[in-house]
Amino acid sequence: MNTKPPQTWKCEHTLKGHTASVNAVAIDPQGNILACGSDDRTVSLWDLKTGKRIFTFFGLLNAVFSVAFSPRTPLLVSGDFDKTITCWNLDTKAVRSFSSQSGTNHAHSGYIFSVAFTPDGETLASGSADKNIKIWNIPRWVSTRTLRGHTDTVWSIAISPDGQILASASADKTIRLWRLNSWEEPRILTGHSGWVTSVAIGHQGKILASGSQDSTIKLWNLNTVKLLYTLSGHSAAVWSVAFSQDKQILASAGKDGVKLWNLSKGELLHNLSGRHPIAFSPDGKTLVTGGDGTNLKIWRQYVPVTESAPNPALSGEWYSILGVDKLASPQEVKLAYRRLIKQYHPDLNRSANAKDIMQAINEAYAKFEEEARG
């Protein structure tokens, strides 16, 4: 029998402002800024904590279908329906487009549905309706290589945390794994009966998730290239998959809603009233999803208060508040403090007295540190 998970999710903000469908979302490496690309030909930036709009980039000629933040520099790129990759400087708000080696802005001959940076920020990859993947050198602002092999639209790409593997998902119903260091022939994964619409790499580059038009999600071992298991539960095409960085949850989204899965057991945890696109914050405690048409939703993970988990004392000796023995080792005290933070931090716990409890916990730990210094 499944037990209720200790965490749940609440919609904290609904973001309104776009005048047409939102196609793509991305969260910056610090977890502070949300970027959205829309059919209204704009890219907007939002404060992820407050849900307030920060800035809107105008001037695009067509819809935006993909966005990605550079992991090292204040850059945001968008892949557009006019076959162009546009780069936005977040500090100066300056705009420029990538060029191919021949000097044209239209290196792709089809719509650009996905963009992804390598971890060092030196290389950008883009997947397109022209069936190809292009590799771009960021410092030089040129395309350096084209990866060919797919026989239909490349819907999605993902790059492993070590920057060695690029996974691509295609309407030809296959996934291809490309080695970015050797450029050898890709390994091809088959098994989906419909378009493969989305890929994501998680678990420190060990697992690949793929979503498909066939309404399933498949989990693959990237070392052995073997299928681990298939998740079924969607009633429509799965257009987005995303891993939480704490390695525990996979999110999947389509027009029929958003589902959160327990990766260790392959079990469904939650159904959320969102839709494609989706993105996790770096700490895995915030999830952004599409809403109704032009809206977006920001969901927060929190720990509900239960009768079986009584609140700690708000006054008394530090060890009583932290729930440890007076002679506990410093490591035991630190572990107890961390457990209490996860349970009572106001960002996670929405109970009325969470702030008071957290203040008492912090003061107790400060008293412990003061006595330890002696």
Amino acid at 154: V
DSSP 83: S
Using a 10 angstrom Cβ sphere, with 0-12 exposed, 13-18 middle and 19 or more buried, the burial of residue 155 is buried
Whether the CB-CB separation of 210 and 217 falls below 8 Å is answered with: yes
Rounded to whole angstroms, the maximal C-alpha distance in the chain is 73
Owner of token pair 């390598």: 118
- The pTM of the full predicted model, rounded to 2 decimals, is 0.80
Is residue 337 within a helix (H) or strand (E), and if so which, with residue range? helix 330-344
Packing angle of the helix pair 354-373, 330-344 (nearest 10 deg): 160
Rounded Cα distance, 139 and 168, in Å? 24
- Full 3-state SS string of 185-197: CCEEECCCCCCEE
Q: Is the bond into 346 cis (omega within 30 degrees of 0)?
A: no
pLDDT tens for the 374 residues of the chain, in order: 344 445 689 899 999 989 999 999 999 999 999 999 999 999 999 999 999 999 999 878 889 999 999 999 999 999 988 888 999 999 998 888 876 654 455 578 899 999 999 999 999 999 999 999 999 999 888 888 999 999 999 999 999 999 999 999 999 999 999 999 888 899 999 999 999 999 999 988 899 999 999 999 999 999 999 999 999 999 999 999 999 987 689 999 999 999 999 987 889 999 999 999 999 999 898 999 998 778 999 999 876 655 445 677 777 889 888 888 888 888 889 988 988 887 888 777 777 788 888 899 999 999 999 888 86
Which residue, among 247, 364, 373, has the nearest Cα to 313 in the 3D structure?
364
Q: What is the CA radius of gyration of the chain?
A: 23
b/e for 247-286, b at 16 or more Cβ within 10 A? ebbbbbbbeebbbbbebeeeeebbebebbbbbbbbeebbb
What are the domain boundaries of the chain? Answer: 8-302, 318-373
293: left (phi over 0), alpha (psi -120 to 50) or beta: left
The matching CATH number, chosen from 1.10.1060.10, 3.20.20.70, 1.10.287.110, 1.50.10.10, for 318-373 is: 1.10.287.110
Q: How far is CA 69 from CA 26, 56, 74, 126, in A?
A: 7, 15, 8, 13
Which residue, among 135, 34, 152, has the nearest Cα to 90 in the 3D structure?
34
Architecture of the domain spanning 8-302: 7 Propeller (2.130)
